[in-house]
Amino acid sequence: MISDDINAISRMLAVQILYSRQLSKNVDLNDLIERISCDQDSECELEYNNDLLIKLLSYNDNNEVLSRELIKKHLKPTWNIDRLDKILYINILLAIAEMSYVEKNKINKNDILNHYVTIAHMFLDEKEVRFVKSILQNIWNYLK
C-alpha cells in the first residue's frame, strides 16, 4: 500500500507541473516530471506515486474542456473562469481528476476534499481556500 505522504507529494507535483505547463505550453510532460521531481543535481530522491501523478495529468489532458465546463457550471453567473487564480483553477482541475476515478480506488470524498484544501492553504488566502472547498463540495455532489 502506498503511503498517504507519497500521494500528497504526487498531488503537489501535479500542481507544479500543470502550473509550469500554463506558462510554457510546448514542454514535454515527461521532461517536466523529471525536472520538477528531481533536485538540482539531477538526483531523483523524491518519492512519489507515479501512477497517481500520471492519472491526474492524463485525466486533465484528456478532459480539461469537460472539467472547465463543470467548474463554469458551479460558478456564479457573474464570475469569469478565466479570471480565477491559476493555482486555484489547477487545484480544482486536479481534484476533479481524482474524483473521476474515486470509486475504483475507494478513496473517501472527504479525503480528496481535504487533500486539495490543504494544497489550497499553501498557495491561497483564506477566502480563496473557502471558495475551493465550496466549489469542490458542489462538484462532488453534482458528480454523485
DSSP string over 25-90: TT--HHHHHHHHHS-TTS-------HHHHHHHHHHHHHHHHHHHHHHHHTS-TT--GGGS-HHHHH
Q: Is 138 exposed, middle or buried (0-12, 13-18, 19+ CB in 10 A)?
A: middle
Amino acid code (one letter) for 115: H
pLDDT recorded at residue 44: 63
Q: What is the SS3 assignment for 22?
A: helix
Q: What is the pLDDT along the chain (144 residues), one digit of tens a residue?
A: 445 689 899 999 999 999 988 887 777 777 777 777 775 555 666 788 989 999 999 999 999 999 999 999 999 999 999 999 999 999 999 999 998 875 555 677 788 889 999 999 999 999 999 999 999 999 988 987
pLDDT recorded at residue 143: 82
pLDDT recorded at residue 48: 87
pLDDT recorded at residue 132: 96
pLDDT recorded at residue 36: 75
pTM recorded for the entire structure: 0.87
pLDDT recorded at residue 1: 44
Q: What residue ranges do the domains of the chain occupy? A: 4-143
Residues with Cβ < 8 Å from 108, sequence gap 6 or more?
Answer: none
pLDDT recorded at residue 31: 78
Report the CATH architecture of 4-143. Answer: Orthogonal Bundle (1.10)
